[in-house]
Amino acid sequence: MNKILNFVKKHFLTKKFLTFGIIGVANTGIDALIYYLVFWNIAQSAFWAKTAAFFAASIFSYFANVIFTFKPKKKSTVQFSIVMLVFGLRWLISAGLAVAFAFILESGFKIDFETHKLLSILPTFLASALLIPIAYFALDWVFKRTDEEKA
C-alpha cells in the first residue's frame, strides 16, 4: 500500500500534474465554447463543430503545456506533430471508451439518458478521467524525448 501512496505522491500530487489538470479544464472549456460557436453560428454540423473545437483546444493545450507544465528547452515541428498525434489518439480512445461506458450505464445500470439528460455527460467524463494520467505520462515522455533530440 505504501508503494501505491508513494507513486501517487511522486507523480500526481505535484505542481506539474496539477498545472496539467488546470490546463485540461481550460482546454475542455475552449472545446465546448468553440463547438457551440461553430455549431450554432457557422456550420450547424456536429462533425465540423467538433473538428474545429478539437483542433482549437489541442493547439491551446500544446502551447499552454509547453509554457506552464512541461517547459521544454527545445520546441520543434516534430514535437508539435507528435503531441498532436497523442491528442488525436487520446480523442479516439476517449470516444471509444465513452461509447463503452454509455453502453454499460444504459444496459448494466439501466440509466435512461433521454430521461436523465444531465447524466449523459457521465460516459465522457469517465473516459476523460481514466485517460488523464495516461495522457500526462505520454506527453511527459514526448516532451522529454523531443527535448533530448539534437537539433
Q: In this structure, which amino acid lies at residue 113?
A: F
CA–CA separation, 133 and 14 (whole Å): 13
pTM above 0.85, yes or no: no
Is 136 exposed, middle or buried, given 0-12, 13-18 or 19+ CB atoms closer than 10 A?
A: buried
2-6, 49-53, 59-63, 120-124: range with highest mean pLDDT: 59-63
For residues 79 and 101, what is the distance between their CA atoms, to the nearest angstrom? 32
Each residue's pLDDT tens digit, 13-23: 899 999 999 99
Is 86 within 8 Å of 142 (Cβ atoms)? yes
Can you give the residue range of the structural domain that contains 120?
2-148
Cα 28 from Cα 32, distance rounded (Å): 6
pLDDT band at 143 (very low <50, low <70, confident <90, very high): very high
Domain count, the chain: 1
Angle at 120 between CA 90 and CA 139, to 5 degrees: 15
pLDDT at residue 146 is higher than 80 = yes
